[in-house]
């Protein structure tokens, strides 16, 4: 049952799926319930801003052909801009990859996005996925459950430098930055080198990456395809 969506599984449990196996489809009752849920006004939950953050209002658009495709951020919503699009506008798309009956979903949605104070909504909008991957990596390495806390844990210069590093480099660099006391003087020197690189403005850095190939190899304890 692993290829069914959460909504389909819930519908199975409620007896709202008809058919068998790959021919299993939502019943007309379940289709109506989906349409009602899509048209319902989402509840606005009041959330207190964390120190060092601010909230930006972002317009999201449903761009996919499947009903549960995640909406994509499209524009910053300034005060008074709410009327630029019709938030009641619908679009038709298939319910799921294995159920091609069409349903209506809301095309537009305005969401509150929490950002560090130093990051403008316009800059975030140019690369929302890159920033999200950075904050997820920070939350994983530092074992933080609240992603908003991860957004303000590290200084601006560090975040900007880490964001554009290759994924494995970023995670290893975060592990280095997390350590407060080192047993190895060599690893401590690499951390100092990393911090210096991060705090140097991008246009003034001598090297594109914070470590040389040999330093990277030593940092990850990599040799002949194996780690030891």
CB proximity list for 11: less than 8 A, separation 6 or greater: 17, 26, 27, 30
In angstroms, rounded to a whole number, what is the distance separating the alpha carbons of residues 57 and 42? 15
Question: Is there a single domain that holds both residue 104 and residue 136?
Answer: no
Question: Is there a single domain that holds both residue 133 and residue 100?
Answer: no
In angstroms, rounded to a whole number, what is the distance separating the alpha carbons of residues 8 and 25? 8
- Any domain includes 13: yes
Question: Is there a single domain that holds both residue 165 and residue 84?
Answer: no
In angstroms, rounded to a whole number, what is the distance separating the alpha carbons of residues 113 and 85? 19
Question: Is there a single domain that holds both residue 108 and residue 139?
Answer: no
Number of domains, the chain: 2
What is the distance of C-alpha 132 from the center of its chain? 4
For 101-112, what is the mean pLDDT?
94
- Any domain includes 218: yes
Question: Is there a single domain that holds both residue 167 and residue 213?
Answer: yes
Question: Is there a single domain that holds both residue 140 and residue 200?
Answer: yes
pLDDT tens digits, 1-59:
444 455 554 555 455 544 544 455 656 666 666 556 555 555 455 567 788 999 999 99
pLDDT tens digits, 51-72:
899 999 999 999 999 999 999 9
Q: Which residues pair with 17 in a beta bridge?
A: 26
pTM: 0.73
Question: Is there a single domain that holds both residue 195 and residue 165?
Answer: yes
For 146-173, what is the mean pLDDT?
96
Long-range (24+ apart) CB contacts under 8 A made by 208-212 are 209/165, 209/169, 210/161, 210/165, 210/169, 210/173, 211/169
**Helix spans in the chain (H):** 6-13, 28-39, 121-126, 128-141, 147-150, 156-163, 167-178, 185-199, 213-219
- Any domain includes 48: no
Question: Is there a single domain that holds both residue 109 and residue 150?
Answer: no
Which range of residues forms the domain containing residue 140? 127-227
């Amino acid at each position: 049952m692993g290829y069914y969506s959460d909504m389909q599984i819930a519908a199975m449990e409620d007896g709202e799926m008809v058919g068998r196996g790959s021919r299993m489809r939502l019943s007309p009752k379940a289709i109506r319930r989906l349409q009602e849920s899509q048209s319902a006004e989402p509840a606005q939950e009041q959330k207190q801003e964390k120190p060092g953050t601010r909230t930006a209002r972002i317009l999201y658009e449903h761009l996919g052909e499947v009903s549960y495709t995640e909406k994509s951020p499209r524009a910053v919503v300034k005060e008074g801009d709410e009327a630029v699009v019709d938030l009641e506008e619908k679009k038709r798309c298939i319910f799921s990859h294995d159920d091609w009956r069409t349903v209506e979903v809301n095309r537009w949605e305005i969401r509150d996005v929490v950002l560090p104070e130093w990051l403008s909504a316009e800059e975030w909008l140019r690369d929302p996925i890159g920033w999200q991957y950075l904050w997820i990596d920070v939350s994983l390495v530092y074992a933080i459950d609240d992603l908003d806390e991860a957004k303000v844990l590290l200084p601006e210069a560090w975040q900007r430098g880490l964001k554009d590093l290759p994924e494995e480099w970023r995670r290893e660099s975060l592990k280095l930055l997390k350590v407060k006391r080192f047993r190895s003087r060599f690893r401590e020197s690499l951390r100092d080198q990393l911090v210096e690189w991060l705090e140097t403005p991008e246009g003034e850095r001598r090297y594109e990456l914070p470590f040389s190939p040999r330093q990277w190899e030593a940092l990850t304890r990599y040799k002949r395809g194996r780690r030891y």
